[in-house]
């Protein structure tokens, strides 16, 4: 099974959905013959964000089974996080376990390269553990530290001067380089204050996600939600036409308090990936 080329009219439909025009975009999808796994993938993403978890699982089972029709591997990994999360939230664990087991069984029948088969085995094994209630799995992002004190900002400015002498501390480019280090080693309040100063122009998606995770851990839910809205609007970078919603959000368990239905509706309606 090879990667499927998406025709222009289908690209237009996916873009409409991504830009928040759900009704017209879905109507366009349904008017186009074929490409059922690709259409199912987009409908699954919409259903996850609408909180229609059982429907999302049905759509995603029709998409995940044809994962090799996508070029980018993150489509599968992101959807697996959403799928296993939806199964837990909707009490459909047994169904998900059966599907994932069957999905892997089909891969085992194919003459796949060893590294590809190893990847599928690992992914399925990890998500089966999630379904069983296991936590702190290797597949899950490592938690970010909450630090009352940390390295002074001057040390990060010196680091920037040493390794990126053309950048300045008080610039978006400087912030994009430094924020990873600040989130790990600076006092959390100072790191988030520095993030806020440049958030509206930061194009690196991990910085917005890290800020949202830290804000949520601090119970600053409104700030976390604003970081997620900014991420979706200017920093999320879909690499496949079928990606219509920022599915990475399902990877981070600590974001759950911020991912209210109101926020998820806003994310769907928001023009994204501008």
Residue 80 forms part of a structural domain: yes
Q: Are residues 166 and 253 in the same domain?
A: yes
Residue 145 forms part of a structural domain: no
Q: For 224-253, what is each residue's pLDDT tens digit? A: 999 999 999 999 999 999 999 999 999 999
- Average pLDDT of the chain is 97
* Average pLDDT for 135-163: 97
Q: Identify the CA nearest to 104 among candidates 128, 72, 78.
A: 128
pLDDT of residue 254: 94
CATH number reported for the structural domain that contains residue 17 in this entry: 1.25.40
DSSP string, the chain: --PPPPPHHHHHHHHHHHTT-HHHHHHHHHTS-S-HHHHHHHHHHHHHHHT-HHHHHHHHHHHHTTGGG-S-THHHHHHHHHHHHHHHHTT-HHHHHHHHHHHHHHHHHS---HHHHHHHHHHHHHHHHHHTT--S-TTSPPPPP--SS-S-HHHHHHHHHHH-TTS-TTSHHHHHHHHHHHHHHS-HHHHHHHHHHHGGG---HHHHHHHHHHHHHTT-HHHHHHHHHHIIIII----STT--S-GGGGG-GGGTTT--HHHHHHHHHS----
Residue 274 forms part of a structural domain: no
HSE-CB for 254 with a 13 A CA cutoff: 21
Q: For 165-202, what is each residue's pLDDT tens digit? A: 999 999 999 999 999 999 999 999 999 999 999 999 99
Structure tokens at 252: 């981070």
Residue 3 forms part of a structural domain: no
pLDDT of residue 273: 76
Can you tell me the distance from the alpha carbon of 252 to that of 50, in angstroms, rounded to the nearest whole number? 18
Q: How many domains does the chain have?
A: 2
pLDDT over threshold 90, residue 72: no
Residue 139 forms part of a structural domain: no
Residue 53 forms part of a structural domain: yes
* C-alpha distance from residue 146 to each of 139, 225, 234 (Å): 21, 18, 26
Structure tokens at 241: 């036409």
pLDDT over threshold 90, residue 73: no
Q: Are residues 120 and 215 in the same domain?
A: no
Q: What are phi and psi of 179, to 5 degrees?
A: -60, -35
Q: Are residues 123 and 35 in the same domain?
A: yes
Local confidence band at 255 (pLDDT 50, 70, 90 cut-offs): very high
pTM reported for the whole predicted model: 0.95
Can you tell me the distance from the alpha carbon of 40 to that of 60, in angstroms, rounded to the nearest whole number? 6
Q: Cβ distance 206 to 180 under 8 Å?
A: yes
Q: Which distant-in-sequence residues (6+ apart) come within 8 Å of 178 by Cβ?
A: 156, 159, 160, 169, 194
Percent of the chain with pLDDT over 90: 97
Q: Are residues 80 and 189 in the same domain?
A: no
pLDDT of residue 1: 63
Q: Are residues 227 and 160 in the same domain?
A: yes
Q: For 117-133, what is each residue's pLDDT tens digit? A: 999 999 999 999 999 99
Residue 57 forms part of a structural domain: yes
Higher confidence at residue 71 or residue 11? 11
Q: Are residues 123 and 159 in the same domain?
A: no
**Structural domain of residue 164, as residue ranges?**
153-269
């Amino acid at each position: 099974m090879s990667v499927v080329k998406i025709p222009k009219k289908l690209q237009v439909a996916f873009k409409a959905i991504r830009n928040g025009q759900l009704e017209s975009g879905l109507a366009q999808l349904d008017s186009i013959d074929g490409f059922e796994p690709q259409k199912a993938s987009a409908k699954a993403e919409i259903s996850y964000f609408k909180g229609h978890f059982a429907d999302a699982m049905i759509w995603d089972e029709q998409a995940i089974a044809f994962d090799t029709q996508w070029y980018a591997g993150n489509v599968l990994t992101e959807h697996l996080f959403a799928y296993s999360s939806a199964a837990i939230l909707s009490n459909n664990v047994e169904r998900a376990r059966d599907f994932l087991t069957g999905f892997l069984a089909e891969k085992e029948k194919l003459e796949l390269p060893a590294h590809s088969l190893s990847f599928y085995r690992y992914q399925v094994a990890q998500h089966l553990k999630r379904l069983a209630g296991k936590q702190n799995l290797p597949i899950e992002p490592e938690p970010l530290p909450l630090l009352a004190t940390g390295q002074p900002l001057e040390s990060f400015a010196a680091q920037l001067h040493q390794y990126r002498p053309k950048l300045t501390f008080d610039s978006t480019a400087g912030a994009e380089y430094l924020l990873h280090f600040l989130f790990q080693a600076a006092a959390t309040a100072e790191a988030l204050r520095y993030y806020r100063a440049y958030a509206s122009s930061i194009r690196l998606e991990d910085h917005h996600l890290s800020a949202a995770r830290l804000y949520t851990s601090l119970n600053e839910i409104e700030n976390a939600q604003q970081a997620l809205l900014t991420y979706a609007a200017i920093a999320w970078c879909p690499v496949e036409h079928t990606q219509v919603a920022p599915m990475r959000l399902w990877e981070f368990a600590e974001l759950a308090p911020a991912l209210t239905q109101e926020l998820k509706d806003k994310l769907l309606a928001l023009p994204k990936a501008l």
